């Protein structure tokens, strides 16, 4: 190479350096972000011990102390539930493989902290503040096991109708990217990839929860019992947090003909409704359904932290009383609201039923509960309510609660049921 050429390359290098320094404060190039931080990201593999192969995949990033890796709880949930069956492994960008140990979890915010068996990459820094809406961000991870990928997108602020704070990222986060970081132009972590609603509507766990997890974590592996105790404690705190927010205000009500029933109990509970007529069956239905959208993933078989309820106003023109109530019986056998769960995680339901007279409204009520097996002190509840007021019209409600303490389960069920009232004369109804 002649001296002219060498001089030209040096100039180009300086330009590049200048250009990149300019972009730190201004506009970073996606290729640069990728090149600069790619070695801080790893693929997280959950390995079935017997098959000795991948049973689940996600992403993670180095942060905090040496060898610490943060990912989503849902990526490594099987390590908490069945540590004898699964183990975790990382695969770095430079194809280094190694084992991971679980140090701490935050099941409510879907975070987990792991430690490598020796690989110590430089940690990513956590952003101190949320960026302004519209800021360009870059999400990194291993979608569909096809290698490390960078996705450019836009920060769109915090979700408004969410129980837990979540960030709205407009960019395509795909399966396998869960647990990967979303970075600002300085390479600081703004949030952790967690979920997507499709069409570039994606969600991040705010980095403050990562900071909190790093702060309370100890640099030693946690065993199954400690982890389950920790998760149970987090869920119990969480349900108390939910109920404190619910009980802080009067029960908002909605009217379904002669009945007044609980409506959207809080901003984080979404409600919608519609009506339909089943001409063939001579049944007309007006329904009102509400649910939280902040379910907590505990394992492939169990999701918790759920409040769902629905009110169905069922009526008929042509069916006699016996036939009409037979149809109501059938509707009750297979409830539309249902919680998941398998034999290892929850018990069977135990039920009681009876007649309840609530504020002159005669009701037939069935109440069922089940207990969590590993997460001691947590229960799920199911409430089924049918009005006994007329032969041609009935209100059928059901409600499910997942992951509540015994006391709070009963407290909420009572709070819900006591909100019902009946006004057959129409005197107290607004026109």
Partner 1 sequence: MSEATVGSKTDSRSGVVEILNRSGQVLQRFMYGGGRISIGRAYDNDIIIGDAYVCPHHLRISSEGGKIVLEDLDSVNGTWHRKGRDRLQKTELPEDELLQFGHSQLRFRSLGTSVDPTRKDTARRGLFDMLGRTWMLPLAVGSCVLTLALGNILDNPRELSPGALATQIDYPLLGVMLWAGFWSLINRLIAHRANFKIHLSIASLAVVALFINGQGIPLIGFAFGWSESVAWIKTLGQILVTGTALIIHMKFVAHGRTWVQALGAGVFALIMMGIPQYEQLSQRSEFSSLPKLTPLLKPPAVRLVNGVSVEDFFSRADTLRQKLEKDAQE
Q: Which residues bind partner 1 (CB under 8 A)?
A: 278, 280-283, 316, 318-319, 321-329, 332-335, 338-343, 346-358, 362-371, 373, 379, 382, 384, 386, 388-391, 406, 410, 413-414, 417-418
Least separation, in Å, of the C-beta of 295 and partner 1?
15
Cβ proximity to partner 1, 21 vs 407, nearer residue:
407
Cβ proximity to partner 1, 84 vs 318, nearer residue:
318
61, 70 contact by CB (below 8 A): yes
- Give the DSSP letter of residue 132: P
172, 151 contact by CB (below 8 A): yes
Least separation, in Å, of the C-beta of 363 and partner 1?
7
CA gyration radius, the chain: 27
In sequence order, which residues have a C-beta less than 8 Å from that of residue 331 and are 6 or more positions away? 312, 314, 396
CA distance 213 to 207: 10
37: number of Cβ within 10 Å: 22
Cβ proximity to partner 1, 201 vs 368, nearer residue:
368
Least separation, in Å, of the C-beta of 240 and partner 1?
19
Least separation, in Å, of the C-beta of 225 and partner 1?
17
Least separation, in Å, of the C-beta of 338 and partner 1?
6
Cβ proximity to partner 1, 216 vs 338, nearer residue:
338
Own/partner pairs for 333-339, CB < 8 Å, 24+ apart? 335/382, 335/384, 335/398, 336/310, 336/398, 337/308, 337/309, 337/310, 337/382, 337/398, 337/399, 337/400, 338/400, 339/303, 339/306, 339/380, 339/382, 339/400, 339/402
Least separation, in Å, of the C-beta of 371 and partner 1?
5
Cβ proximity to partner 1, 165 vs 350, nearer residue:
350
Least separation, in Å, of the C-beta of 89 and partner 1?
31
Cβ proximity to partner 1, 63 vs 260, nearer residue:
260
Cβ proximity to partner 1, 95 vs 343, nearer residue:
343
């Amino acid at each position: 190479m002649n001296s002219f050429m060498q001089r030209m390359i040096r100039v180009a290098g300086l330009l590049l350096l200048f250009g990149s320094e300019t972009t730190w404060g201004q506009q970073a190039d996606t290729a640069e972000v990728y090149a600069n931080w790619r070695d801080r990201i790893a693929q997280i593999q959950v390995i079935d011990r017997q098959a000795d192969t991948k049973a689940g995949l996600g992403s993670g990033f180095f942060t905090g102390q040496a060898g610490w890796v943060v990912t989503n709880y849902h990526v490594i949930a099987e390590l908490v539930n069945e540590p004898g069956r699964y183990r975790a492994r990382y695969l770095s960008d430079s194809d280094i493989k190694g084992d991971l140990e679980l140090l701490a979890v935050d099941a409510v915010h879907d975070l987990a902290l792991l430690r490598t068996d020796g690989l110590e990459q430089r940690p990513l820094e956590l952003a101190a503040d949320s960026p302004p809406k519209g800021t360009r961000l870059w999400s990194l991870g291993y979608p569909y096991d096809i290698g490390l990928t960078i996705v450019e997108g836009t920060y769109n602020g915090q979700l408004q109708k969410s129980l837990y704070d979540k960030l709205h990222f407009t960019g395509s986060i795909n399966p396998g990217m869960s647990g990967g970081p979303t970075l600002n132009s300085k390479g600081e972590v703004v949030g952790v990839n967690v979920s997507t609603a499709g069409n570039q509507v994606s969600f991040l766990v705010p980095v403050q929860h990562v900071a909190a997890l790093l702060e309370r974590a100890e640099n030693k592996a946690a065993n199954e019992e400690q982890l389950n105790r920790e998760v149970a404690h987090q869920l119990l705190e969480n349900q108390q947090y939910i109920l404190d927010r619910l009980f802080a205000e009067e029960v908002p009500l909605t009217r379904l003909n002669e009945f007044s029933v609980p409506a959207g109990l809080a901003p984080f509970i979404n409600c919608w409704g519609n009506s339909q007529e089943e001409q063939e069956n001579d049944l007309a239905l007006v329904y009102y359904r509400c649910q939280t959208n902040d379910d907590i993933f505990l394992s492939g078989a169990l999701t918790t932290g759920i409040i769902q309820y629905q009110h169905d106003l069922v009526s008929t023109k042509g069916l006699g009383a016996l036939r009409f109530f037979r149809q109501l019986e059938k509707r009750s056998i297979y409830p539309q609201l249902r919680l998941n769960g398998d034999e290892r995680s929850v018990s069977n339901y135990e039920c009681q039923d009876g007649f309840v007279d609530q504020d002159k409204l005669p009701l037939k009520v069935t109440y069922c509960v089940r207990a969590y097996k590993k997460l001691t002190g947590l229960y799920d509840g199911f409430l089924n309510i049918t009005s006994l007021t007329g032969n041609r019209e009935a209100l059928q409600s059901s409600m499910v609660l997942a992951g509540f303490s015994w006391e709070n389960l009963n407290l909420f069920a009572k709070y819900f049921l006591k909100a019902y009232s009946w006004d057959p004369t129409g005197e107290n109804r607004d026109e």
